[in-house]
Amino acid sequence: MSGHSHAEGVLPHEPEKATLEGRNKVLGFWLFLGGETVLFGTLFSVFIALRDQVNGGPTANELFSLPVVAAATLILLTSSLTSVFAIQAMHRNQTKATVNWLVVTVLLGLAFLGLEIYEFVEYAHHGHTFAASAFSTSFYSLVGFHGGHVAFGILWISLLIWQVLRRGITLHTAPKVYVAGLYWHFIDVVWVFIFSVVYLMGKVG
């Protein structure tokens, strides 16, 4: 039932779902993402309720610069695709390609994070600090929670890269990589709503 009941060296087609432990992990993570949906949904609804309350500070329209947001969006979207390639390489049992695609994903994630930090520092210079207004507090909470998820994902996937390098793709490492891939896609999905609702709608209003 567990890992070692399979012959050495032969991995099933989808190694992440070959063991009960793996299937449990994938399903449990999906359900966790259901909870994360509510978590971000609550943050979104709070932001929507408070986004016009600028308290005399800069409005969303004055503040946001779309080129930076577009660049961040492109980076994160591409990183989601590279994590798909990593999983596909894992299914083909190509350790090296898996690691390479994961490294690309992490690098793109770091670029995104750097861009976000740059953006936040810029906003703070314009008086848009965390404690400035209800708008700023809810903005930093929503986008910051997402950024925190990106940072956690970078640490997590880096740790997994190290494990795959040491142990190769096994029935134990495969579910971990697959689940981290799901997590990374979810981060991108949340970002789609962030750039639509926070940034683009902010530019319209």
Partner 1 sequence: MTAEHAAAAEQPKKRVKHEGPKKHIIAYIFSLVLTILAFAVVVTGEVRASFVYAMLVLMACVQVFIQMAFWMHMKDRGHTFPIIGILSGVVIVFTMIIMAVYWTWW
Partner 2 sequence: MAHGSHAVKRYKGILDWLTTVDHKKIGILYLLAGGFFFLIGGLEAILIRIQLWKPMNDFVSPDTFNELITMHGTTMIFLGVMPVIFGLMNCIVPLQIGARDVAFPFVNALGFWTFFFGGLLLNISWLTGHVPDAGWTSYVPLASTTFSNGPGVDYYVLGLQISGIGSLLGGINFLVTIINMRAPGMSFMRMPMFTWATFVTSLLILLAFPALTVGLVALMFDRLFGGNFFDPSAGGNIMLWEHIFWIFGHPEVYILILPAFGIISEVVTTFSRKRLFGYSSMVFATVLIGFLGFMVWAHHMFTSGLGPVANALFSIATMLIAVPTGIKVFNWLFTMWGGSIKFTSPMLFAIGFIPTFVMGGVTGVMLAAAPADYQYHDSYFVVGHFHYTIVGGLVSGLFAGVHYWWPKIFGRKLNETLGKLTFWFFIIGFHLTFFVQHFLGLTGMQRRIYTYLDGMGFNEMNLISTIGAITMGVGVIFFLINVIVTSAKPRTATNDPWEDGRTLEWAISSPAPEYNFAQLPLIRGYDCYWKEKMEGNREMQPAEPLGPIHMPSPSILPFIMSVGLFIAGFGFIYHQHIVAAAGLAVTLICMMLRSVIEDHGYHIEPEEIQAKGVKA
Q: Which residues bind partner 1 (CB under 8 A)?
A: 1, 5-7, 10-13, 17-19, 27, 30-31, 33-38, 40-42, 44-46, 48-49, 66, 70, 73-74, 77-78, 80-81, 84-85, 88, 91-92, 182, 185-186, 188-189, 192-193, 195-197, 200-201, 203-205
Binding string, 71-100, against partner 2, x = CB under 8 A? ------------------------------
How many angstroms separate the CA atoms of 176 and 103, rounded?
16
Q: Could you say which DSSP state residue 56 is in?
A: T
Q: Which of 162, 138, 164, 180 is nearest to 50 (CA)?
A: 138
- Asked if 61 touches partner 2 (CB under 8 A), the answer is no
| DSSP one-letter string for 117-134 | HHHHHHHHHTT--TTS-H
The residue type at 149: H
Nearest residue (CB) to partner 1, 113 versus 179: 179
- Between the alpha carbon of residue 77 and those of residues 82, 105, 152, the distances in Å are 9, 10, 18
Q: Which of 159, 143, 158 is nearest to 194 (CA)?
A: 143
By CB under 8 A, residue 150 contacts partner 2: no
Residue 32 or 130 with smaller CB distance to partner 1: 32
| CB-nearer residue toward partner 2: 75 or 106 | 106
203 binds, among partner 1, partner 2, none (CB under 5 to 8 A by kind): partner 1
Q: Which CB atom, from 93 or from 141, has the smaller least distance to partner 2?
A: 141
Q: Does residue 141 bind partner 2 (CB under 8 A)?
A: yes
Token pair of 85 as six digits: 């390639």
Spatial neighbors of 148 by CB under 8 A, at least 6 apart, are: none
- Using rule CB under 8 A, residue 1 touches partner 2: yes
